[in-house]
């Protein structure tokens, strides 16, 4: 750094301000310092900086190997927010959402001196493993259902509220009840969507149909959709995510059930492709970028107060209903004219 200062004709402190992007440096001076850095092939020694400041400016992210849209989008949202804030990112992925693999990921990140960890935590095993993180290492969990008693800050979308939005929308369109193509029962997010759907039907005094759990993919939705399509009383289906809805749409099409004329369908997630389904899918939007920003802000705040006794924060991001072409008003069909008079109404 002193070599750069000598070549640029400035002080050591000015070079430091340029490196740290301090605003109080004239543009001409900044360019002269940057030119000197390029000429000398100067690179910051991050290890030395970490020793001096006790900060690595690196955050750890725990994800898991999956092609599921929700967790993948959470990972992207968190990483984008961290990089925008000037942090390097170290990602540790696990193949299984179980206590031991997640704990090993925590240990790997801690060995790289990360300043904090954000974990994508759709299952309780992830949050349980985070409680064993080294003392003083700030952690934030993103996703899952949230219990309100988590030992560290959490950020999640209100899955139950999203299910209520979808179910109430279908009831408001005149459907007598709403069937549900569910996700896996051991995922808290899927269960929260079942709870929101069921509570809305109860509140409306509607019949609550049985639920057959599935998985998060179109193949599971297709199997559930075949069963629903075979029941002529089914006129509305709320799906636990958009990929399940895609499978349901195909099953309904193969059975000759038109969407939305015969059956209305709502998804959850608002995948980028959902607007190009046939018909375009009405769905519940999750703002993954906002979840990433909120998770980062929460982590940075927690890092600044990690040695204090401040309260644990739990952030809930509200979902939004996106209306497209897969839902429509429903009216009960008029009974066919049999040529016989209607039965007398008892007086």
SS3 content of the chain, % helix, strand, coil (to 5): 45, 15, 40
Measured between alpha carbons, how far is 41 from 76 in angstroms, rounded to an integer?
Answer: 32
Pairing of strands 282-285, 320-322: antiparallel
Cβ–Cβ under 8 Å, residues 47 and 112: no
- The token pair at 242 is 């958009």
Q: Is the dihedral of CA 40, 42, 48, 49 positive or negative?
A: positive
Q: Tokens in use for 81?
A: 């927010």
Three-state DSSP state, 315: strand
Residue 118 parent element (H or E): strand 116-120
The answer to whether residues 328 and 264 touch, using CB atoms and an 8 Å cutoff, is: yes
- Identify whether the C-beta of residue 46 lies closer than 8 Å to the C-beta of residue 68: no
Spell out the per-residue pLDDT of the chain, length 347, in tens: 788 888 888 887 888 777 766 777 888 888 888 888 888 888 765 545 544 445 557 888 887 767 777 778 878 888 888 787 778 888 887 777 777 878 888 888 888 778 888 888 777 777 777 777 777 788 888 877 665 566 778 888 899 999 999 999 999 999 999 999 999 988 889 999 999 999 999 999 999 999 988 999 999 999 999 999 999 999 999 999 999 999 999 999 999 999 999 999 999 999 999 999 999 999 999 988 888 888 888 888 877 765 445 445 788 889 999 999 999 998 754 344 434 343 343 43
Structure tokens at 227: 């069963």
Confidence (pTM): 0.75
3-state secondary structure of 246: helix
**Which residue shows structure tokens 């209100």?**
158
Q: Which candidate, 329, 322, 143, 169, places its Cα nearest to that of 242? A: 322
CB 226 within 8 A of CB 257: no
């Amino acid at each position: 750094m002193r070599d750069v200062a000598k070549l640029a004709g400035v002080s050591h402190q000015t070079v430091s301000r340029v490196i740290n992007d301090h605003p109080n440096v004239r543009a001409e001076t900044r360019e002269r310092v940057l030119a000197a850095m390029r000429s000398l092939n100067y690179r910051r020694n991050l290890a030395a900086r970490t020793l001096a400041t006790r900060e690595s400016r690196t955050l750890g992210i725990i994800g898991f190997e999956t092609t599921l849209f929700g967790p993948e989008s959470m990972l992207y949202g968190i990483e984008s927010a961290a990089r925008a804030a000037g942090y390097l990112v170290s990602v540790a992925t696990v193949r299984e959402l179980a206590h031991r693999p997640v704990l090993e990921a925590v240990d790997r990140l801690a060995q790289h001196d990360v300043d904090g960890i954000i974990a994508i935590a759709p299952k309780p095993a992830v949050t349980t493993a985070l409680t064993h993180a080294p003392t003083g290492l700030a952690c934030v969990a993103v996703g899952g259902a949230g219990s309100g008693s988590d030992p560290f800050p959490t950020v999640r979308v209100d899955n139950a509220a999203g299910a209520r939005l979808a179910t109430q929308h279908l009831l408001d369109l005149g459907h007598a009840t709403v069937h549900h193509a569910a996700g896996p029962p051991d995922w808290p997010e899927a269960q929260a969507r079942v709870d929101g759907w069921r509570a809305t039907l109860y509140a409306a005094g509607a019949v609550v149909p049985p639920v057959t759990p599935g998985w998060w993919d179109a193949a599971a939705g297709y199997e559930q959709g075949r069963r629903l399509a075979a029941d002529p009383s089914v006129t509305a289906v709320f799906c636990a995510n958009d990929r399940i809805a895609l499978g349901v749409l195909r099953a309904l099409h193969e059975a000759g059930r038109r969407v939305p004329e015969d059956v209305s369908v709502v998804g959850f997630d608002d995948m980028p492709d959902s607007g190009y389904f046939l018909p375009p899918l009405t769905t519940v939007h999750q703002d993954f970028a906002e979840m990433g920003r909120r998770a980062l802000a929460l982590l940075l705040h927690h890092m600044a107060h990690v040695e204090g006794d401040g309260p644990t924060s739990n952030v809930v991001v509200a979902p939004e209903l996106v209306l497209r072409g897969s839902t429509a008003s429903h009216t009960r069909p008029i009974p066919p004219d049999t040529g016989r008079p209607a039965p007398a109404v008892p007086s």
